Amino acid sequence: MKEIFVRKLKVTLCLFLLMVVLIHIVIDFVPSADYMSCRCLSKATGTLDHLSPSSILAAQNKLNLRNLQDFSSSNSSLEKGFHSTEGVSHVGGLSNVDLQDANIKQPETKEKPTQKIKSKLSALFHHPLYKIPIPKVTKKDKLFGTASCDVVGLFSASLNRVWPARDTSAFLNQNAHPAWLSFYSGINRYELYARHDPSRHDLMEDLAKQKIISSVQKPGGTQLKLIMTFPNHGQALFKPMKQTRDQETSADFFYFSDFERHNAEISAFHLDRILDFRRIPPVSGRLVNISKEIRDITTDKKLFKTFFISPAGNICFFGECSYYCSTEHALCGKPDQLEGSMAALLPDKMIAERESWRSPWRRSYSKFKKAEWELNENYCAQVQKTPPYNNMTRLLSLIDMTVLDFLMGNMDRHHYETFEKFGNHTFYLHLDNGRGFGRHSHDEMSILTPLHQCCIIKKSTFLRLQLLATEPFLLSDVMRESLASDPLSPVLSEPHLEALDRRLKKILAMVENCKKADGHKEVIVDDLKGNQYF
């Protein structure tokens, strides 16, 4: 009897252990909620016809929550979250009257005091002027419909055309939510990225740290640029370091032969965000090993042939381009480490067409000739009669771009781009800013010609410029703090930061002169009463 009992006990224990193992196996094979919500990613190697409605809806809900996290509430609920502007009412002309005109309600005195923010940059982004919501984003206002799955389907189709031999399904399964995909999904008619979109931070992390698996030279352009690819198929435009922080562009250089600086690209992104334009794709600095991350992995034979070892024992290369691509202007590492800017690439034009517009105030790009706007003081009146600038919004957006360019000293704004899907009713893309921040000791007033000749500016832009001229939010201070987060910090030398404050004062002085000549209402165009966005 004992033996029979022992055998039964052993059999029972074995069955129990078997049941436990089976339960664990079943749990491991049950798909997670995240996978089910984007299961279309594994099937998106074709067109959008293969996507199931349930997966698109799930992805859409997630995406909408992410993109609209700061703008989902109504104006009244937004106003309740504003910090008190009591300390700002007496500085720099930004009075309580200005805030009331901007439809920004002051919080009630009974509210509990918020924790004091020591960071000037955080305080700036908590200011009411940086909490003005964009309109509700509908399906037609999004660059890629309503779901991130749309982007993947389109991207996969274009990827298969470029690399037909590659199996993109493996990439899609392993990288369900790459940062570049979230960035693309968030692009809409009103902004390139949301004010507090977490995907922006994730994307900048990728630009700074992701492994580089491919480096090839970007065709065209006057100076050397590389397109770098990451394992998750994200891509970045790499501009190598050509000048040190303390070097200043010679006054004898023409603007069209100036160097393109990596730190100018980085700084332009931060300045654009501080001005609340958000029209420059994310840019991060990065220290690149030009042996392992360029030479050893490039498939570009022409680029590979330009590598050499300098007499000092450093790895150098120069590529092929119109300017500064020679042994005399080679880019050398120390011994193989080279700084550069990594800018997130916009969606390929095969899946998101962009239209290029020639700037009305484009320079002549000649050593001898002057452009028409340099000879005709009434040139703006002519521009205002010419489509698309007969639309006041388009002209005001160009003035915004002028303000950005003057602050960083960029004379090389010959064209700008917009997403073709949105027609004339969208923002300008502020691309290619490498020729900014060249001369801190000189303020090129001709850059402000559009503002000087047209004498108009958005009220929202004007109020933010006034705010950035005050001590609590001084432009040089918030720029210094913002740039401190970059891996290559310090990105700008102190003279360049000081130049920002000096130039800002000149912009405000020009606006004041316009107001004296034409009147406040004619110069300050109110874009805060329901007509800020087209």
Positions annotated as catalytic residues are 412
Residue 111 annotated as binding?
Answer: no
Residue 239 annotated as binding?
Answer: yes
Annotate 381-414 with DSSP letters as a single string.
HHHHTSTTTTSHHHHHHHHHHHHHHHHHT-----
Token pair of 87, please?
């300390």
Residue 488 annotated as binding?
Answer: no
Place of tokens 């992410």: 66
Strands, E, within 209-361: which ranges?
A: 214-217, 226-229, 235-240, 283-289, 308-309, 315-317, 331-332, 337-344, 354-358
Q: How many residues does the chain have?
A: 534
Residue 338 annotated as binding?
Answer: no
**Which of 148, 152, 150, 431 shows the shortest CA–CA distance to 277?**
431
Strands 235-240, 214-217: pairing is: unpaired
The CA-atom distances, in angstroms, between 338 and each of 307, 330, 353, 459, 501 are: 14, 12, 33, 42, 31
Residue 240 φ then ψ, to 5°: -75, 160
Residue 345 annotated as binding?
Answer: yes
Distance of CA 94 to the CA centre of its chain: 28
Residue 526 annotated as binding?
Answer: no
Residue 223 annotated as binding?
Answer: yes
Place of tokens 């435009």: 237
Residue 344 annotated as binding?
Answer: yes
Residue 205 annotated as binding?
Answer: no
**Which of 84, 97, 433 shows the shortest CA–CA distance to 258?**
433
Instruction: Output the known binding site.
Output: 223, 239, 260, 343-346, 417, 432
* Residue numbering of the annotated binding site for Mn(2+): 260, 432
Binding residues for ATP: 223, 239, 260, 343-346, 417, 432
